[in-house]
Structure 1
Amino acid sequence: MDTFSAAFALIGAFVAWRLLSYGQRAPVPPGPSGLPIIGNLFDMPTSQEWKVFSWWGEKWGGIVSVNLLGQTIVIINSLKSAMDLLDGKSSIYSDRPVLVMGGEMVGWKKTLALTPYGDRFRSYRRMMHQFMGTRAAVERYYPVEELETHRFLRRLLRKPEDFAEHIRHTTGAIVLQLAYGYKIQEHDDPFVTNADTATDQFSRSTEPGAFLVDVFPILRFVPQWLPGAGWKRTAAQWAANLDKMGDEPFEWVKKEKARTHFVAASSSSDLVPIEKLSAQETFNVKWTAASLYSGGADTTVSAIHSFFLAMALHPEIQKKAQEELDAVVGSERLPSFSDRDNLPYVDALVKEILRWNPVTPTGVPHRVIQDDIHDGYLIPRGSIILVNIWKLLHDEDIYKDPMTFDPARFMDSDTRSAERDPHTISFGFGRRICPGLNLADASIFIACARTLAVFDVSKVVENGVVIEPLNDYTSGTISHPKPFKCFIKPRSEKAVALISAVDSFDD
């Protein structure tokens, strides 16, 4: 065989192999049938998408896919699949997709939540871990947590009807003090207002299907003056709000010549003056701090808000938790973190709050960086991966009677073993697991324990009619209880005295 014939045969064999390989290529995971070109554009839910995704899972299995104009989106409704992919193959499943509205145009890719997988991501995570990556690290901040929660009780005593505002104020006070060394103003603090505004816009700008530019990225280049392009002006305003949230606390630190815990953590040794950081280090420190604040404040607010809803809806559970607190702590002092090991039911209550209505019901999307085969299905490179956290936390194979609010499910008994700790699900998976989970857990625990020790939470009665709180939640990446009323009153005069006790307060 001459050289030409050999080369021709080799090329033919290669082409045949590629054709055969293509013919045997694994199918993508099943899902709803789409239309030509646009795919499943009209199948995507516009609100509370986790419920629709759960229904898809029941119909097509634990891993489902849809296609939006050629973009594959994989929805995981199975804990095993979530762990196999995001934990077991974290090296290829830890990237973030390009979210044109929220990430690119508004700018949330500067924060840890949406920063791509790479050196900057690792820098952020390293600083976060040094600051609060372990329970031992978080223990340093227990005094701040306890003090600000005591102040929270005082605000509840003065204006119980404003409990939702008090939750946000207190969570902001804790995180701002830890991230920047900043003590917030008692009323209308600008940094808290900035963060409230920006984090709400994060949730809205990253909600799947909320903006057409995420489906047609070329739309980002249309001029703002074009009719129908009001969303571009919205993006510009939201980007300005995000920069304000990131810049103003950092500039305050520089102006006051303060040395924050966060900068100290980033140096791994002595405090480092911000002025001595390089431009890239300054960027990383500033936006890691902003990530801590924006991520920690809003998610913790949602969880504590859910606690008040649960207590109003389930007085029998509230009573059981209070009986445990009374037996362990008594009525002469407020509970502290040192009591937690002796409060198993209250600890279980915190777990059930996280499971019952998860803060991020569909998580923050991942992106796979290369083709992957899972359970015989192809997950193409560049696919967006959504984990249906809500579904995993309401899976009947993991949690008995999952729609029932029952803290006892997390306690061993004579008839059953404790069910899976929701911390292993609710904070995400793999290298993208929430770095603030220990701080969030501590904040939720101390808020629940101290509130239950001194207050009763119940349904509101108006004109002799009981007003049933609405157990309903907002859509978006971060989900909150929709507004509801509840009645909050001190348990006793001794409780009032405990709440009112002066303990180094300056507000």
Structure 2
Amino acid sequence: MDVFFAFVFLSILNNLLRRSRQVAPLPPGPKGLPLIGNVLDMPSEKEWLTFAQWGEQWGDISSITVLGQPMIILNSAKAAYEMLDKKSPIYSDRPVLQMGGNLVGWKNTLVLLPYGDRFRRFRRMFHGVIGSRASMKNFAQIEEAETHRFLGRVLTKPSDLSAHIRHTAGAIILRISHGYEVKETNDPFVQLADQATYQFALSTAPGGFLVDVLPILRHVPTWFPGAGFQRTAKLWASTLVEMVEQPHEYVKRQMAAGTAPISFTSSLLEKNISAEEEFDIKWSSASLYSGGADTTVSAIYSFFLAMALHPEVVKKAQAEIDSVVGNDRLPTLEDRPYLPYVDALTKEVFRWNAVVPTGEGLRTVSCPSSANHRRV
């Protein structure tokens, strides 16, 4: 164990030496301590609240340093727009997260994919199959059918609302991504997605693993004292691979049998593709349902919470539905243009209780005056 701590100490010194060679100053922020920087200032949970407090004290753009690794925090929509939208070619990259990205393997999904040719290919595939309202009409019947099933489950077992929401989100996303119709209970693909996304959250949590601060630790072998994170990463990587491979092979079997329904994966596999293109299809499809299976669930949770807290909103939304749709059928996506209050209500849920309070997440900033990258 002493050898491990010596290795860590040398890695910290290396980071600090690189940091000392930087010419461009960092934005203002809380003062750190020698060697460890702002390690003690980093929150262990609800980090967005702490970041917001720093924004009030230090302004729209602030910074901290953790063991020699700078982090820049944007605390206003204007600053985020100026950097991440208007100057996206400079700031669109993502930092390399050693634990979740490299060691577990999430770097192959869109959420951690570095900006470059593969990132652009992913975006083109998404846009071509599900990137417009016209293309999404291919899946409208799927969304409506699964929503009707969800309502039936809620009526039958309202006490299991949380499970119904998670089941339905997984069902819709898997049918769109892979044309797979989930089982009513204990579906293996839904369970895999839930397990993998839970592990993703743990592997990418700020300050969760020292290897993210000291990337050199990724070279530590699994038998080395203090290298338990390597064994954890290997276990989580196997879960991720199963989540990616199993639904993909399901689609290929269905296509070989001539029974594959239309889906994101099947529509792309119909072409004559290379091994690299199939790799992209496989991981972009996994990006769809691994991301949506968690964020969509969170948003729907927020909707039910909002309705429970604001019954007057429920009455107003129901009145609009009754006047436009009537009481002899359920609303469909075709009714959306005629339900402006309900449409605005769903958008307000996203604003009121943001699924990702820290915004778009981490980005990598290239600094012309330094060989280092800074996290935003």
TM over 0.5, yes or no? yes
> Which position in structure 2 is the counterpart of 1:68?
66
The answer (yes or no) to whether the contact 1:127–1:265 under 8 Å persists in 2 is no
TM-aligned CA deviation for residue 260 of structure 1: 4.8
User: 1:44 aligns to what?
Assistant: 42
The question of 1:329 aligning with 2:325 is answered yes
Q: Summarize deviations over 1:32-84 as a string: whole Å, max 9, x none.
A: 00112221121111100000000000000011111122221111011111111
Alignment match, 1:396: none
Offset of residue 226 of structure 1: 4.3
The Cα shift of 1:364 comes to 2.3
**Amino-acid identity (%):** 57
How many residues are paired up?
350
**Which amino acid counterpart does residue 191 of structure 1 have in structure 2?**
F
Question: Is 1:314 aligned to 2:316, yes or no?
Answer: no
Where do 1:92-241 residues align within 5 Å?
92-241=90-239
Give the 3-state SS of the residue equivalent to 2:331 in structure 1. Answer: coil
Helix, strand or coil at the partner of 1:193:
helix
Cα deviation for residue 26 of structure 1 reads 5.3
**Counterparts of 2:267 and 2:86, CA distance in 1:** 29
CA distance in 2, matches of 1:145, 1:261: 13
The aligned runs of 1:71-82 (5 Å cut-off) are 71-82=69-80
C-alpha contact 1:263 1:285 (8 A) present in aligned 2 = yes
Structure 1: how far apart are the matches of 2:90 and 2:166? Answer: 36
Report if the CA contact (8 A) 1:113-1:364 is conserved: no
Q: Is residue 383 of structure 1 aligned with residue 351 of structure 2?
A: no
For residues 201-238 of structure 1, give each alpha carbon's deviation from its aligned partner in whole angstroms, at most 9, with x where no partner exists: 11121111111121122323333344543332221111
Partners of 2:265 and 2:282 within 8 A in 1: no
SS in 2 for 1:383: strand
Q: Which residue of 2 aligns with 1:262?
A: 264
Distance between the aligned counterparts of 1:227 and 1:71, measured in 2? 24
1:163-219 CA distance string (max 9 Å, x none): 111111111111111111111111111011000110111112111111112112232
Q: In structure 2, which of residues 264, 280, 283 is the aligned counterpart of residue 284 of structure 1?
A: 280
- The correspondence for 1:358, drawn from 342, 345, 354, is 354
Instruction: Please state if 1:339 is matched with 2:335.
Output: yes
> Which SS does the other structure have where 1:129 is aligned?
helix
TM-aligned CA distance change 1:104 to 1:164, over 3 Å: same
State how far apart, in whole Å, the 2-side matches of 1:229 and 1:264 are. Answer: 41
Q: Which amino acid aligns with 1:40?
A: N
Q: Distance in 2 between matches of 1:154 and 1:266?
A: 33
Measure the CA separation in 1 of the matches of 2:162 and 2:30: 39
Amino acid at match of 2:348: E
What is the CA–CA distance in structure 2 between the aligned matches of 1:331 and 1:260, rounded to whole Å? Answer: 32
Amino acid in the other structure paired with 2:135: A
- Structure-1 separation of matches of 2:348 and 2:322: 21
TM-score (norm 2): 0.88
Larger deviation, residues 52-61 vs 170-179: 170-179
Aligned residue runs from structure 1 range 432-443, under 5 A: none
In structure 2, stretches of 5+ residues that fail to align are: 1-19
Distance 1:135 1:297 in 2: 21
CA–CA distance in structure 2, aligned partners of residues 285 and 364 of structure 1: 24
**Distance (Å, rounded) in 2 between the aligned partners of 1:324 and 1:360:** 30
Q: Alpha-carbon deviations, 1:271-323, whole Å to 9, x = none? A: 32xxx532211110100100111112211111011111111122122122112
The CA RMSD measured in Å over matched residues stands at 1.9
Larger deviation: 339-348 or 117-126?
Answer: 339-348
Matched, 1:371 2:373: no
- Shift, 1:383, TM fit: 0.9
How far has the Cα of 1:135 moved from its partner?
2.0
Alpha-carbon contact 2:251-2:266 (below 8 Å) kept: no
Any idea what SS the aligned residue of 2:279 has?
helix
Please say if residues 178 and 251 of structure 2, whose CA atoms lie closer than 8 Å, have aligned partners that are also in contact: yes
Alignment correspondent of 1:296: 292
Higher helix content, 1 or 2: 2
Secondary structure of 1:358 counterpart:
coil
State how far apart, in whole Å, the 2-side matches of 1:314 and 1:232 are.
47
In structure 2, distance between residues paired with 1:27 and 1:369: 14
Counterpart code for 2:195: T
Q: Which residue of 1 aligns with 2:9?
A: none
- How far has the Cα of 1:107 moved from its partner? 0.5
> 1:105–1:239: 8 Å Cα contact kept in structure 2?
yes
Contact 1:131–1:137, Cα closer than 8 Å, also in 2: yes
Q: 2:375, 2:291 → 1: CA distance? A: 21
Deviation at 1:359, TM superposition (A): 0.8
Unaligned stretches of 5+ in structure 1?
1-21, 373-378, 386-507
Asked if 1 retains the 8 angstrom alpha-carbon contact of 2:178 and 2:266, the reply is: no
Aligned AA (1:286): K
- Partners of 1:31 and 1:64 within 8 A in 2: yes
Distance 2:24 2:208 in 1: 31
Match of 1:243 among 236, 241, 244: 241
Q: 1:324-361, CA deviations, whole angstroms, 9 ceiling, x for partnerless residues?
A: 21222121111111221221221111111101111111
Letter of the aligned partner of 1:336 in structure 2?
A: T
Instruction: For residue 255 of structure 1, report the CA deviation from its aligned partner.
Output: 2.1
* Matched position secondary structure for 2:73: strand
Q: Structure 1-normalised TM-score?
A: 0.66
Query: CA 1:314/1:367 → structure 2, altered by over 3 Å: closer, same or farther?
Result: same
Rounded Cα–Cα distance in structure 1 between residues aligned with 2:34 and 2:63: 16
Q: Which amino acid aligns with 2:290?
A: S
Q: Which residue identity is paired with 2:365?
A: V
